[in-house]
Amino acid sequence: MILWLFGALQVLLALRIVLRFLRTARGDIIQISNSSQPDRVSVIVPILNEATRIPTCLEALSAQPAEVAEILAVDGGSTDGTQAIVESYGRRDPRVRLIDASPVDESWTGKAWGLNFGLQQTSPHSAWILCIDADVHVSPSLVRSLLAHAKKTEVSTFSAATIQHLSGMMEGLVHPALLTTLVYRFGSPGNATRNRHQVQANGQCFIARRATLMKTEAFQAARQSLCEDITIVRHLVACGEEIGFYETAGLVEVSMYSHWRETWANWPRSLPMRDQYFGWQEALGLVEVMVVQAVPLPLLILGWVFSAPDWLMAVNTGLFLMRLGVMANVARAYDPRPWTYWLSPLGDFPAAMKLVQSALTRRHRWRGRTYVRSQRGAYKPTPSSD
């Protein structure tokens, strides 16, 4: 009876996921555009001890055309020479400015504080705000392409899915297993929504109208969140905004972590998307990941050893074939792609367990501070964490 109930659950949740895949299939892509645009853009780059990564980021941002009016590197108290690097780029490109946002307010998470502090410093003549992380490398065509996409789709708040550069073979196992949990929960990029439970975001490359961010106080909504990007867009949806998430034609690339251990230790902190908007729908998404993505391969192995019922083996064979199809589809997110990528389903079960563990954990350590989740889902820094 238990096996029948579990098999039925797998089938029902798999149908939900398949419908999600169909709904999000063949979405829009941000195409390359070099056409001049009338609006001006302020770029905000929140930073903290980014000496090894900020030069590549600023080099690429300085190559942006005249639509970019200013590039604000908002520093939360770096001690590794990051500030001096930013100032050196400011001498080469007057659009680059160092904004000292230290010390970070004790009631805020660091990135949200940097975004909000930077927003207040942006020029009121800029119609758009583009948020870029320090580990991102962008094409010289990025800003014009984003503005052209906003004009074509009439979606004024959206983020871009980035091309991932991995640190090596081990990260080729770990990173795709974690990334695929997003695909199972939200489907493919390429669409816009006003549904809070379907909205996706990538804070590494996020653009919105300045007036919208100021009016909705979107960055302030994420001041006690460990998944700032998703909290910001959930808040914007609650304010009536339509939010898009799109792939690009190779316009944005990122090297998130320098070692697979960093990926494993840090990314699951935000992937469960546990914030003040987290509810039963989001919890069900984690169940879907566990039951439909993570369990089939281990169950097939155990079923072969212990002679599980044929119907259960058939169900999980189908689910595993679906996983292989997803893997083939997600492959374009990695360039270059280590050969271990094709073994990444082996990491699905540990990845799902890690996400569930992170979602249930009330205390997290991040960037030298300890955060404790309240009953309402907000993460508050502890007084002794500095």
Q: What is the pLDDT of residue 383?
A: 61
Q: Which residues of the chain have pLDDT under 50?
A: 384-386
Show the beta-strand stretches assigned E in 90-203: 96-100, 128-132, 136-138, 158-161, 163-164, 191-193
Q: What is the pLDDT of residue 43?
A: 98
Element (H, E) at 312: helix 310-330
Assigned superfamily of 29-269: Spore Coat Polysaccharide Biosynthesis Protein SpsA; Chain A (3.90.550.10)
Sign of CA dihedral 167, 172, 175, 176: positive
CA 10 from centroid of its chain's CA atoms: 27
The pLDDT of residue 345 is 98
